[in-house]
Chain A
């Protein structure tokens, strides 16, 4: 269909439609130039705030208090990595940076494993209530986490999980599952029926079918889910704010205390914020295709 459309587009000027004169084409070309400029400006507009934060993180406290980050263009000598050195040597901050991994990695692995298993059952094993269960999962997609904060805090308190990394991970797993199941079930359901039936004819168990047939085919969907879930947990503030204590806090919670004196803490806050952004930005740039797909599928969250 695309090819046909291309042909039509080429044909139009040649056939000499009287409405498309030289002037129209000139305006069209000028218009395109304007579009280019406008979009370039929009892109710059989007980059400036992040660039400002980066520069602020590379200037020391006195420089940040005395003048704005944009003065760096006249005084490039002010650039320094001292803030990063200081932050990394600060035990509490470094610990919180590691905690972010300790929370995000298991929360991602558990969600991917549990959701793959459940999605297989929902997509390919017939059982009573399958339809209802699927609809419940779809309903849970938009569940606000606020609904669970108080009860789960009580529950974790009783189980001794409050203030631990395990508790934070479990909560993330619970609220990551609906989307994960939704995404994978849709993908699994689209796998050709013949593949699964052929395996069943051969007498393979469900477990073998899941492992040998489904998982290899579903790699792209699992990759999207993994990246989406990892960044979702990595970027969390609210869950950790409620369930983590000082020792298990991720970097967002650890930096939060600095917010009170923003004007004088710009050096530390911008450095900390940028440190917390390095991992997501790297993941985003390397796996952008999977991440964008994950976000488009999971935007309802």
Chain B
């Protein structure tokens, strides 16, 4: 274009020397702090930790055999495969959808907002979102809420019989058989007395009934009383399910009253086993360990998607507005459905823009550092590790090996080098 033609001719006497004062400050800084360091890192990567001894490619060999670094490589691969494609896809769909609403600008503003804040702050935001405790992390609060709707929490988590009962898959089963006319006293322990429901009444063993199997289940607080006997201050445990089992079959079910008593009428004469079903005592569901070793990388990727989607939407929307409306309308007039228009017209016309967005996101992903640094708790950081973080840790964190750190920096540079060429080629094409 214009630039290529020499524009000094217009004013005779201009000399290239006049460019020097304009270029000098930037060139000095770039040469000293970007280009020289690049060369230095390359050379440094062939020396040992102290920098005194030439070790050839040892640092690179170590890098590709070190388990921490290999985990970082694996995670970078996962990131590159999953994250940019996900964001480009979500961005494309949302950008097309926003064309159909009036508040598109407001929508894009909301989704773009995460781009303005630091990755550090975004990291803290998502650390809080995914915090393990359902009393702090909103995701687990929702997960627990939904879970408890379908399988309600047990009344007495962790409570258990003092003795005389064996833990089985179905619950606590009495060791000795019982039959109609017996009276069972069943002390439970392992549950805080202050957590008993307010309607719980003082417990007392029922009188024996001839036709019935009767019993009482109470919280046996050993402090200030005798273990295994009902003391005056001790209260019954309301609402515990009790089963009578004969030959492996449940023949009767009942639930304890407010005073902890239960009764099985009409059991017949044969022996039964009294059993307390498991779900009286299961621990409450506390959600998933999002920030644990197995889920940490997907969790961090989700936070990155939150940050980058707005960028993808805005970029793609700019591309969309450049698509000739006639092409879309022509397809619609021909009877194409919206989906066909999207698939056959919009996406092919947008593909150059989508490629730029995708490449940009890949570069961004390769350099990912802060999110992993902030969201992954210290104990799982090795599991969530990525190259940029590993480079920092090896060189400045706990490692202190600048030879290996330089090797990692060079590897990182080589990974983004194709993107460099992509940019240069695009730049040249746009100018010619």
Contact = CB atoms under 8 A, between A and B. Distances in A.
Interface of A: 1-2, 4-5, 8-9, 12, 17, 19, 31-32, 35-36, 38-39, 42-43, 46-50, 52-53, 56, 64-70, 113-115, 117-118, 120-128, 130, 133, 135, 138-155, 170-171, 173-175, 177-178, 181, 189, 193, 196-197, 200-201, 206, 210, 231, 234-238, 241-242, 252, 255-256, 259-260, 262-263, 266, 269-270, 273-274, 276-277, 280-281, 283-284, 288, 291-292, 295-296, 299-300
B423 A138 contact: yes
B216 interface: no
Contact of B34 (A4, A115, A148): A148
Given A50-B113, A144-B388, A146-B388, A181 B412 contact: no
Could you say which interface size class chain B belongs to?
35 or more
B153 interface: no
A146 B409 contact: yes
A260 B378 contact: yes
B138 A140 contact: no
A264 B277 CA distance: 37
Contact of B22 (A4, A52, A125): A125
B29 A68 contact: no
B335 A300 contact: no
B118 A237 contact: yes
Contact of B8 (A69, A118, A126): A126
Contact of B129 (A4, A49, A128, A142): A49
Nearest to A143: B34
Contacts, number: 320
B94 interface: yes
Contacts of B318: 296
Nearest to A32: B100
A141 B423 contact: yes
Interface in B74-133: 94, 97-98, 100-101, 107, 109-121, 124-129, 131-133
Contact of B29 (A120, A174, A231, A241): A174
Given A17-B333, A48-B138, A118-B23, A152 B33 contact: yes
A151 B138 contact: no
Given A150-B395, A262-B377, A281 B38 contact: no
21 contacts: A2-B325, A17-B333, A49-B138, A67-B135, A68-B138, A117-B23, A122-B23, A125-B8, A125-B22, A126-B6, A142-B363, A142-B419, A148-B38, A150-B40, A150-B44, A155-B33, A178-B30, A196-B7, A252-B118, A283-B116, A296-B311
